[in-house]
Structures are given as C-alpha cells and as structure tokens.
Structure 1
Amino acid sequence: MRHYEVVFLVHPDQSEQVPGMIERYSNLITATGGTVHRVEDWGRRQLAYPISKIHKAHYLLLNIEVDSDGLDELQNAFKFNDAVIRNLIMKRKGPTYGDSPIMKVERESREKKERDEQNRNRDRGDRGDRGDRGDRGARGDRGDRGGSRLSENTTLSKES
C-alpha cells in the first residue's frame, strides 16, 4: 500500500455536511483495507481565483494509506459528489502524523492572540507600588554640559 495526501475543496453552501463527508470517505478508505493517518479541517477560506463563480470553499486534508483500488474508489467518490469543487491527490513517501504547516501557523497565531488578550487584560500592576517620589532636592552645579559642538581650536570669525 502507498501513502497519499488528499486535499479537497467543498462548496461553501455544503459546509455543514463536511463531518459526514469526512466520515464517508474515511469509511470508504478503511473498507478497502486502507488506513487514515490524519484528518485536518482547515475551514472556509478564500480561493486564489473564482471557480464557477465561487470565491470561498471549505478545505480538508487527509493523509491516507491505501492500495490502487481504494484510491480509484476515492477518486470516483470525489468525481460524482457535486459538493466537491476540486481535489488533489499526491503520493507521499510515508505517513504524516503531525500538524500541517497551515495548522501550525493557525495554532501559533491563535496562541499569540490569546497571549495578547491576557496581556491586555492584566491590571498593569506588574511594576509594583512606586511610592511617593518626594522632592528631588537641589540639583547643584552641573558644570558645562557641552552645549556647543565646537572644539577649543575652532574660532568663529565674521566674514563680510
């Protein structure tokens, strides 16, 4: 059996049927002796270009291990399902279990957003009580502060 990565786009009006589609395709793969290693629902996203006047679609990713007969059945299921706008099946060298790059970016942005929200909600008491600073007192003679950038050797002359 070979390993494949399957990405398919579902019509945005059919988004509520996505869990049922995942279940159906997973059952189809396991019925032919294959296994599903990973399922990712990327959600509704903007398309790079309109497909049949559709500008958004629901993206799904499957990493599967299946033989050629099971792959043919999966391709036929995609072909005869009007809700599937596009599909792409890529051969992989081995199974993939971790998060995809898209899910990693989404998880990191979600974590950053949560951290920012927590930081915004703090009472800003992290500096502690500074107390009364009181009067600064006499500053004394501070000497020449170097207000002029001219060196001692340079003289200003008035030219007419």
Structure 2
Amino acid sequence: MNKYESVIIVNPNVDEEGIKALEKKFTDIINNDGKLEKIDNLGKRKLAYEVKKNNEGIYLVLTFEANADLIEELQRNYRITDEVIKFIVIRIEE
C-alpha cells in the first residue's frame, strides 16, 4: 500500500454538521480498503481564483494508506458529491 494525501475544498456554505458528514463518508470509503491516518480541517480560506462561483472554501486534508483501486473510487465519490468544489490526491514518497 502507498501513502497518499488528499486535499478537498468544500463549498463554504456547508455547515459544521455537513462537514462532519463528509468526513465520515470519506473516512468510511478509505477504511473499507485502506487505513486513514488523520483528517485536518484547515477551516475556511480565500481561494486564489473563483471555483464554481465561490471565492472561499473549507479545506480538508486527509492522510491515508491505500491501493490504487481505492484512489479511483475515492475520486469518483469526490466528483459526485455536490459539496466538494475541488480536490487533489497526491502520493507521498516515503
């Protein structure tokens, strides 16, 4: 298994309960076939440019270990989740 870091930018209009629900959803997906190390909520930050008509976003950083198959499934879920406005998944070199 490789180590990955995923940065997700969530719509700034999502409330605290919505953020917790997203964290649980992505945690469950990762823990099905991988191992979540930590989730950091960096809070609301200004974006460098407008994304989906938003100038701000809530940043979540997930650090986890997983196989390549899980990354595809995770990215698919990011795409179909309306609250996620931008994301990236990066493999961390050990």
The whole-number CA distance in structure 2 between the counterparts of 1:65 and 1:79 is 21
What displacement does 1:69 show? 1.5
Which residue of the partner structure matches residue 73 of structure 2? 73
If asked which structure has higher relative contact order (CA below 8 Å, sep 6+), I would say: 2
What displacement does 1:89 show? 0.6
Q: TM-score, normalised by structure 1?
A: 0.56
Which residue of the partner structure matches residue 158 of structure 1? none
Asked if residue 93 in structure 1 is aligned to residue 85 in structure 2, the reply is no
- Partner letter of residue 59 of structure 1? Y
Q: Deviations over 1:68-115 (max 9, x none)?
A: 111111011001011100001111024xxxxxxxxxxxxxxxxxxxxx
Aligned residues: 93
Structure 1: state its 5+ residue gaps.
95-160
1:54-65 to 2 correspondence within 5 Å?
54-65=54-65
Partner SS, residue 14 of structure 2: helix
The whole-number CA distance in structure 1 between the counterparts of 2:57 and 2:14 is 9
The whole-number CA distance in structure 2 between the counterparts of 1:71 and 1:15 is 26
Partner SS, residue 13 of structure 2: helix
Structure 2: state its 5+ residue gaps.
none
In terms of fraction of residues, the more strand-rich structure is 2
- Aligned-residue Cα RMSD (Å) equals 1.0
Q: TM-score, normalised by structure 2?
A: 0.93
Tell me which structure has the larger Cα radius of gyration: 1
Which residue of the partner structure matches residue 97 of structure 1? none
% identical equivalent positions: 28
Report runs of 4+ in structure 1 exceeding 3 Å deviation: none
Once structures 1 and 2 are overlaid, which stretch shifts more, 45-54 or 79-88? 45-54
